[in-house]
Amino acid sequence: MAEYRFVTVWRIEAPLPEVCEAVSQSLKWPDWWQGVEKVEVFDPGDSNGIGSLRRFTWKGWLPYRLTFDIRVTRAVPRRFLEGYASGELEGVGRWHFSSDGVVTLVRYEWNVRTTRRWMNLLAPFARPLFKWNHDQIMRQGAEGMARLLNARLLTLNSFGARD
């Protein structure tokens, strides 16, 4: 399996509670996040969302889709959200939230490995394209959130590293 580590940072001129609410309400992502085709709930989890299980289908700029489940494993309201992915991607995603006045900082860490055979076979050559595709999806998310919240996206940075 090919492994990937991505870090994306958004700085958005919007209140922290609104940004956290938009991220935590993933069923609504297809309404504002262009790369998200579908989100389905299989388990709502507890009152804080811990244990919730959702299936995500994503479509980026490259001609393939990825479908995987995320089970929420940890959550600290307005600070942190973590989930474990299984399916066509396996690994951990972590959202970190903080604010500086009217600016909210969102840091997303995505540490995953691909399980689709064709992706693993092509990884030595296609890794830069897969990273580019991930970065485009994250850009769509940042821009979509800015539109949703009628806010200004101040910065968007993506970093990728190979394990």
Q: How confident is the model over 11-21, as pLDDT tens digits?
A: 999 999 999 99
- Distance from C-alpha of 103 to C-alpha of 6, rounded to nearest angstrom: 23
pLDDT at 48: 85
pLDDT at 56: 98
- Distance from C-alpha of 129 to C-alpha of 54, rounded to nearest angstrom: 27
pLDDT at 163 over 50: no
Q: How confident is the model over 59-79, as pLDDT tens digits?
A: 999 999 999 999 999 999 999
Q: Residue 63 sits in which domain range?
A: 3-161
pLDDT at 161: 53
pLDDT at 149 over 60: yes
What phi-psi label fits residue 46: left (phi over 0), alpha (psi between -120 and 50 degrees) or beta? Answer: beta
Most distant CA pair in the chain, distance: 46
Angle, nearest 10°, between helix axes 117-148 and 16-24?
A: 140
27, 19 contact by CB (below 8 A): no
Q: How confident is the model over 95-147, as pLDDT tens digits?
A: 999 999 999 999 999 999 999 999 999 999 999 999 999 999 999 999 999 99
pLDDT at 151 over 60: yes
Question: Among all chains, which residue has been given the structure tokens 């969302």?
Answer: 49
Q: How confident is the model over 94-109, as pLDDT tens digits?
A: 999 999 999 999 999 9
Could you give the number of structural domains in the chain? 1
Output the pTM of the full model: 0.93
Question: Residue 26, class by beta-carbon neighbours within 10 Å (0-12 exposed, 13-18 middle, 19+ buried)?
Answer: buried
Q: How confident is the model over 5-44, as pLDDT tens digits?
A: 999 999 999 999 999 999 999 999 999 999 999 999 999 9
pLDDT at 160 over 70: no
Task: Read off the CATH number of the domain in which 38 is found.
Answer: 3.30.530.20
